[in-house]
Amino acid sequence: MSVFSLDSWLTLIPVVHGSAAYASALRKELLSRSFDALAVPLPASFSEEVIRGVERLPALSVVVRLACGGQVGSLWSDSQDQVESSERIDRGTYVPIDPCQGVIAAIRMALGERLAIEWIDGEGDQIESHSPVIADCYAIRHTTLERFCSAMLPAIPPPSLGLASSSMVERIETMAGRILAMRGRHRRIVALCPLEAWPWLREAIRSGQERSGGQEDREDSKAHESQVPELFRVDPRSYLFMLGELPFITGLIEQARQDFEDDDRVVAEGLKELFVTARSSYRQELGNRARQITPLLISQCLKYVRNQTLLDRRMTPSFYTLAKSAQQMMGDTYTAHLVNSATEYRFDSYEQSAGLATIRMGIGVGDLPDSGPATLVSRLPGPPMQWHSLELKRPVQKKDQRRWESRWNPYMQCSWPEEDTQIESFRNRVAERARQILGADLARTEKFTTSIMDGLDLRETLRHWYDGSLYVKVNPPSVGQVNVTVMIFDPEPDPREYTWRATWFAEHPDESTLAFFATPFDKQMIGPGIAMATYGGSMFIYPPRPIVDIWQDERLDFTDTLEQRLVAAACLHSESRHVALMSPTPPGQALKKIAKRYSCKLVHVPLAHFSDSVIQQLRVFHVLNGRQVRSYAADFIRKS
């Protein structure tokens, strides 16, 4: 016999509100049973509007009922801050028509199966705004609904000791009486109830405690003291406060329902799809300037999210954990796209022709179109919500960009010192890797005689194992320094894209003389006197020395492409016979001919030897309109 079965005619199933995993498990449990009536823990006065809202799904809506009269207190302003007010404030309750709510999913299923729906909750508006402390519903994916609910029994206090003792006791008595009264009308009944009322409602039903007729009439008379429930469409900006799951995840679940797919996959894989969707919009906005968000980086970020979630003693990450983790690993710009994607509901088009008044909602508050602000308590309270602050870089407005661009002084340009340090450190790595490659090409192996030289060569020794000979490595002395380094980031740079070409000179001995081609900085103003560009290719001469601007040097006019001119300039100004060339592909015949013309040799360092995230971070650099801008540039520059 199931733990949910009280008798042959009654099955009592608890509900955890606001959880997609629980709603999915509840729907499967209901579909596995045979019954002719569904009892839901909502007042009968809400029935007409709730059914109307459920029939409008996947369009989101909310049923609100205000109590007559009000209270004097404080309420939120447009910024959700607490403000003092001496006006009378309306108070009411609401039912979110959320497809991830277990009760709404059950009503939706009952309507589809043509089952009778009974409304068993009391009409009182004294609903306490609290959520029970229970285990994360993500665990249901690895167990059964019965085992999960049974495991919660020790954590459910008696209603006399709970946060809402008086109202919960009245609700339990009302639901018990109405469930017992249904026995004469239906043969097999499935009744839903809040998880925190489940064990005590079972006891009330078994003991046969029914409310008296006069008492129930008095409660009905109380219902007439409240206004009539009304159905509202929800402002898209309020979806985050109204739904139990993220709006993006809710949209995926509705899409899976329409495609006849298992929504368990959405619960497990929804966050991955959220990160991928945010990456698409991020790339669409920034194009080549976007940081490379690889599958590996997304995987690492999800692992970080998991660890942070476990530290919070949860199994499902909060919205704040997602955003904070993305900010720390992928930057502010991507995080802004992630936040926007997470709060978007893909079935917003259904709302356009709804013909309903719109309500704005916050945490425990709502702004009704006719009566104004009101404190609202959910009759299906999901996980508790709280405010967190997360500082993100504000997107630059077009009008600000135009103003900054008009004030730009073309005769004053300099770099950002922190980026100079990073790119010089990377240049050292490339040059060192080139020297290693060059030394490896000159190394040789010889047979052991009297000295092991630079170490035993195991490969050659094993190859001649049959004759018992030993072979050792011989590394020749250093062939000199590599003082010119060329970096080609784009394998086929388009001159129409990289229209900014310049030669910069070092400000101090630790910097290189730099020549590069990049995207135009004046198209990406991010602050007053601060612009951003992206390298297509660059050349570094270290130690620094003054040279003729390579883009004006007539000696290099024989070249045809940007990368050819850059390599030709490197060979022209190199004091060493070897020039380090970092590029995605090995140098072709054209570049080799240019190097041979100057009696130089190109030492190719594959771009794949370095992390994609490091390369993308180094390619984006900032241009300051004078050294004085460095005093405040850090307030605007943040890696995206």
What is the helix (H) or strand (E) element at residue 340, kind and residue range? helix 332-342
List the single range of 252-256, 296-300, 349-353 with lowest mean pLDDT.
Answer: 349-353
Local structure of 350: helix, strand or coil: helix
pLDDT band at 302 (very low <50, low <70, confident <90, very high): very high
Q: Give φ, ψ of 484 to 5 degrees.
A: -130, 130
- Burial (Cβ within 10 Å: 0-12, 13-18, ≥19) of residue 466: exposed
pLDDT band at 69 (very low <50, low <70, confident <90, very high): low
pLDDT band at 1 (very low <50, low <70, confident <90, very high): low
Residue 216 has pLDDT above 50, yes or no: no
Residue 320: the pLDDT is: 94
Q: How far apart are CA 436 and CA 581, in angstroms?
A: 13
Map out the domains of the chain as residue ranges: 5-231, 247-342, 414-442+480-635
Residue 157: the pLDDT is: 82
Residue 70: the pLDDT is: 54
Find the mean pLDDT for residues 623-635: 91
In Å, what is the CA distance from 262 to each residue of 142, 253, 288, 322?
A: 15, 9, 37, 24
pLDDT tens-digit readout, 393-409: 777 778 888 899 899 99
Find the mean pLDDT for residues 88-103: 89
Residue 273: the pLDDT is: 94
pLDDT band at 95 (very low <50, low <70, confident <90, very high): very high
pLDDT band at 133 (very low <50, low <70, confident <90, very high): low
Find the mean pLDDT for residues 467-477: 79
How do beta strands 10-15 and 5-7 pair?
antiparallel
Answer whether 608's CB lies under 8 Å from 585's CB: no
Candidate ranges 101-110, 155-164, 455-464; pick with highest mean pLDDT: 101-110
Task: Provide the residue count of the chain.
Answer: 640
Answer whether 567's CB lies under 8 Å from 540's CB: no
List the single range of 5-9, 260-264, 385-389, 427-431 with lowest mean pLDDT.
Answer: 260-264
Residue 213 has pLDDT above 50, yes or no: no
Q: Which of 518, 525, 523 is nearest to 498 (CA)?
A: 518
Answer whether 572's CB lies under 8 Å from 555's CB: yes
pLDDT band at 211 (very low <50, low <70, confident <90, very high): very low
Mark out the alpha helices in 455-611 (DSSP H runs): 458-463, 562-573, 589-597
Our CA dihedral for 571, 573, 576, 579, rounded to 10 degrees, sits at: -40
Residue 87: the pLDDT is: 56
Q: How far apart are the first and last CA of the chain?
A: 58
Residue 129 has pLDDT above 60, yes or no: no
List the single range of 67-76, 457-466, 603-612 with lowest mean pLDDT.
Answer: 67-76
Q: Is 69 left (phi over 0), alpha (psi -120 to 50) or beta?
A: left
Answer whether 253's CB lies under 8 Å from 266's CB: yes
Residue 48 has pLDDT above 90, yes or no: yes
Higher pLDDT, 447 or 181: 181
Q: How far apart are CA 125 and CA 92, in angstroms?
A: 7
Mean of pLDDT over the chain: 86
Residue 161 has pLDDT above 60, yes or no: no
What is the helix (H) or strand (E) element at residue 516, kind and residue range? strand 513-518
Answer whether 225's CB lies under 8 Å from 72's CB: no
pLDDT band at 220 (very low <50, low <70, confident <90, very high): very low
